[in-house]
Structure 1
Amino acid sequence: MPRPAITHIHLDNLRHNYRLLKRTAKDSEIMTVVKANAYGHELFLVAPALLEEGCTSFAVTDATEGCELRSILGFYKKIEIVLLSGIFDEEDAELACQHQLTPTISELQQVHLLKQAGFNGNVWIKIDSGMNRLGAKTPKQILEACFQAEINVCGLMSHLACADEPNHQMNQKQAVAFNEMCDQISPELPRSLLNSAGIISMPEHTYHTVRPGIALYGAEPVAAQPIGLKPVMTLTGEIMQVRDIPAGVSVSYGATFTADQAMTIAVVGLGYADGVPRSLSNHGHVFIHSQKLAIVGRVCMDYTMIDVTDTDTKPGDAVEFWGENILANDVARSLDTISYTLFTGVGERVRRKAV
């Protein structure tokens, strides 16, 4: 029997989020971002559900992820699989040919690699509008190189740095810069600028295609402007043992927690190797029996201890670390991080189960 460490994936909530984002983006095409194993939610569960909803455009990181997604979705219909990091070498270029992948191009060398491989599909050109991460330095030259290589450029894209802060001055600066560059490069090409937060905070810049990621999975990307997204992931462990301890004894590694009175603790079979942040030690909470209970002592590789004093908790009970009752955004905020790190940090030995 496998360890009772389970991540429940609520596909109805995923569908709800997709429909909500589609309405919010109005007439724009939706390119759903499913990189990093669908942000830890399990690609083979998430992608088919989105396809059933009518999504035919997906974005992953690289050719390896693209090949995996193609094996899940198949070649039927017109399914676009965009590689947001483009290609890295000759092997990637070959994979792009074989699996009908759509690389995002930011360097001339990538065009040369595709040409050598005989690529005759589509590409996006990524330009830098101010984030100073990936982006073509000479996008017009790349566009011309694609034309000469008979590679179709299906659009121009860029990425926002501060869209989760609606009033940040970078947002409009980037939008203006992006528009100006697109007009100079090729006014008629489709454009894509907005991520999850941008869809909400900058609706006037939806253009042809938007690229929601974190919002699909139910984490509100703009704290001040919630739109009714529902959590897709619920991370749960199971109580293995319940024990009474007297006042004055310590719990877990380092003896960082000492009981100031007699109490009852429960050992949950989920630890930092499963994705429970160690920084929740003596700090975080879990949800069980309709209440939040405190984590006590250091989170271990395989176990987490919680205070279950005066509850009817027993071995076999399921414990929620985040999900519908404890929002991942709230957990992340308490740790000065983001929900992305929680979702993608869930370990491989935690089973993903569609519900």
Structure 2
Amino acid sequence: MEIADIAKRLIAIESTSGKEREVQEWIATYLSSKGFNVELVEVLPGRPNLYARRGESKILFATHCDTVPAWEHPNAFNPIVKGNMIFGRGALDAKGQIASLLKAVEECSYPCDIAIFIDEEKDGTGSKEFLPNKKYEGAIVLEPTELKVAVGELGGISLEIKVKGTFAHGATPWAGKNAIKEALKIVKKLEDIVREQKGNSELLQPWINLGKIEGGRDSYVVPDQCSLLIELAILPGNRAIDTFERIKPVLQGTEYNLKDLDDPIEIERESHLLSIVERTFKNLKLEFKETFFPSWSDAHNLHAKGIPCIILGSGKLQLAHTPYEFADLKELETLKEIIKGILAQTKPGT
């Protein structure tokens, strides 16, 4: 099968978070046919991580098999190819990346270790519960980076906030307290705090995303409550706890739940893995561009286990989770060659 065929097969198997078993079993069968010893390790009921080994490698290739829901994607689990583009849920995040990896290991016989996790799109339980049976020099975490080499990953703060107000008739708004207006004031203050982080520049900008807002009953009723789901980015050189301490006074008078608090991560500049990746780009005559991954990925949990990580993959992150998610097949082919180039440099004797 070509990369497009592999990607189509993967996308057609729905694997929204919680439904990963079928796609993991398909990948396990594929890798077994390529000489890998494969383990499916159940992390949550009916939800296994996949761990595959061929020969002895000190580098781990890792990604996730779960996706966000279909939402409004017209070809979510019925992928189509138009020109060089394949459309479907997970085409970019991250089944296209998996397709490049599977095709790469088919085309070579180099030693390779692979971990494919569940639950990345929700709680990261798959990579959190991963127990490596050896010491790895590093991991390549496959996520969309436009084939730029992400030498680190932004940290983040995840918050649920409930703001209370006071009911009143909508024609007498001064008689009540508008919870939605109060919530928006809080969002503005949080934006200011996030922007004040050190390291803020045009190339590396912090962000805040108001992902969900609920409140109100009718245009003629002053809303008495408003709920928010917010994600805030933490730049390298900053600590998430320090930013959260600045945020806490803004949250006074609200009910809030701190869901996640993650520091940024970064690979050491003298890392052997980074030199291998840079050399691979040079050998393939590809432009080597460094970046930081702006979102959370399984790299965070691998880093916490002492495994240095580089995040690398095809496509633009902004297309993931959207109704027009697609992957560029030419980029997936290039990613395949990069993976083969890395494997060639990590085989025994190199």
Output the TM-score relative to the length of structure 1. 0.26
- Structure having greater relative contact order (Cα 8 Å, sep ≥ 6): 2
Give 1 or 2: higher strand fraction: 2
Output the TM-score relative to the length of structure 2. 0.26
